[in-house]
Amino acid sequence: MSKQPRIAVIGAGLGGAAAAALLQKSGFNVDVYEQAPAFSRLGAGIHMGPNAMKVFRKIGIEQPLEAMGSHPDYWFSRAQDGSYLSRIALGAHARKEYGAAYITVHRGDLHALQIDALLPGSVHFGKQLAGLEDTGDEVRLAFTDGSTASADIIVGADGINSYVREHLLGFEAPTYNGWVGHRALIPGEALKAFDFDFESCVKWWSEDRHLMVYYTTGSREEYYFVSGVPQAEWEGGNASFIDSSQAEMYDAFKGYHPSVQALIASAQSITKWPLLNRKPLPLWSRGRMVLLGDACHPMKPHMAQGAAMAIEDGAMLARCLGETGLGDYATAFSLYEANRRERASRVQAVSNANTWLRTQEDPAWVFGYDLYGHELKTESAA
């Protein structure tokens, strides 16, 4: 009796969950292995542009996501004195011109929706991958809890410190790029003490730093900020984040508009994250293993598109495997790279440069992209 071919997705982050959902929808037999024992609602927001929302439409979670998210009419960019640098139309304009809504939402709420979209029993928590062997016929996996599994192909969706990437290319720590991000959630109620118009989506800029601010719920009960601030050394060692403070934020945003000072005053708990990076990888797949998202092309978060690229990757990989079937995974992997490398690299470069929407520009190449709206290319232009 022949066994049913299987796909193992390593990492149930935003990219891995998108890939797994779409592969399952196409009828593939998919198991997801996630190192975390469970997911919690960590304090962070996230933008989801129309390009990602079109993928969520395919997964079947666009409507609930729209219902939970905030729908900004504009992305405003403002100088530290409050003057406007750009007004990028979103809202109804995004739906009409880019084919889906632009939302901002709590990252944990989005992620929970994505996990719920997976087939019951297909996500295995507490499974940290620590061993991989491609035997030629299959891939064998070993986890730190002593358990093992096997699959026909492996999707490395295990983030910036990817074990799958390390297996393919050798150990190399990601580089700290000299920037930190401060993050805080602010109860909407706290903002009522101030006489400012707290806009739905605004990025405050000065020469070498910025503060991105937006609502994470449609009811405006939660406001969120994430900074980008230069800092020569990361003091947190291997920690993915450490505690910060209002004093540190006041210092970093001295001279900024009073409404920014009001945000800092209202933030009860502030965390600080190192921004990490890697050089572009020489390969996206080898043998039965393929990479996606931050495992493959991490970027500074300044364009708010890193997760969207992971989600697009997952959707494109599912589309390519759907075209070829699992038996011809090698063709699927090369189609996948041909259709992702150029776009992901361009977004990575713009994100790292931190110029996105600072001045009035046309975002159609990012937001208008429809992963399902074009023929597959067989060769990458990059």
Which residues are near ligand FAD by CB under 6 A? 10-16, 33-36, 46-47, 127-129, 157-159, 163, 181, 183, 226, 273, 293-295, 301, 304-308, 310
Percent of residues in the chain assigned helix, strand, coil, to nearest 5: 35, 25, 40
Query: Of 195 and 233, which CB lies nearer to ligand FAD in the complex structure?
Result: 233
Residues 6+ apart with CB under 8 A from 194: 259, 262, 266
What is the closest distance, in whole angstroms, from the C-beta atom of residue 44 to ligand FAD in the complex?
A: 7
Query: Of 28 and 225, which CB lies nearer to ligand FAD in the complex structure?
Result: 225
What is the closest distance, in whole angstroms, from the C-beta atom of residue 4 to ligand FAD in the complex?
A: 23
Query: Of 226 and 338, which CB lies nearer to ligand FAD in the complex structure?
Result: 226
Locus of tokens 């979670």: 61
375: how many CB neighbours lie within 10 A of its CB?
A: 6
Q: Choose among 91, 122, 159: nearest CA to 295.
A: 159
Query: Of 144 and 378, which CB lies nearer to ligand FAD in the complex structure?
Result: 144
Q: Choose among 116, 124, 129: nearest CA to 164.
A: 129
What is the closest distance, in whole angstroms, from the C-beta atom of residue 375 to ligand FAD in the complex?
A: 26
* Residue of minimal Cβ distance to ligand FAD: 13
> What would the two tokens of residue 276 be?
């990490």
> What would the two tokens of residue 264 be?
């800092």
Distance CA 324, CA 332 (A): 6
Cα 265 to the chain's mean position, in Å?
A: 28
What is the closest distance, in whole angstroms, from the C-beta atom of residue 171 to ligand FAD in the complex?
A: 13
73: how many CB neighbours lie within 10 A of its CB?
A: 16
Residues 6+ apart with CB under 8 A from 62: 53, 56, 100
Query: Of 66 and 158, which CB lies nearer to ligand FAD in the complex structure?
Result: 158
- Show the beta-strand stretches assigned E in the chain: 6-10, 29-33, 45-48, 74-79, 84-89, 103-106, 123-124, 129-134, 139-143, 148-151, 153-156, 175-187, 201-205, 210-215, 222-230, 242-243, 271-277, 285-286, 289-291
Query: Of 83 and 121, which CB lies nearer to ligand FAD in the complex structure?
Result: 121
- Which residues are annotated as catalytic? 47, 214
Distance CA 248, CA 228 (A): 13
What is the closest distance, in whole angstroms, from the C-beta atom of residue 306 to ligand FAD in the complex?
A: 3
What is the closest distance, in whole angstroms, from the C-beta atom of residue 332 to ligand FAD in the complex?
A: 19
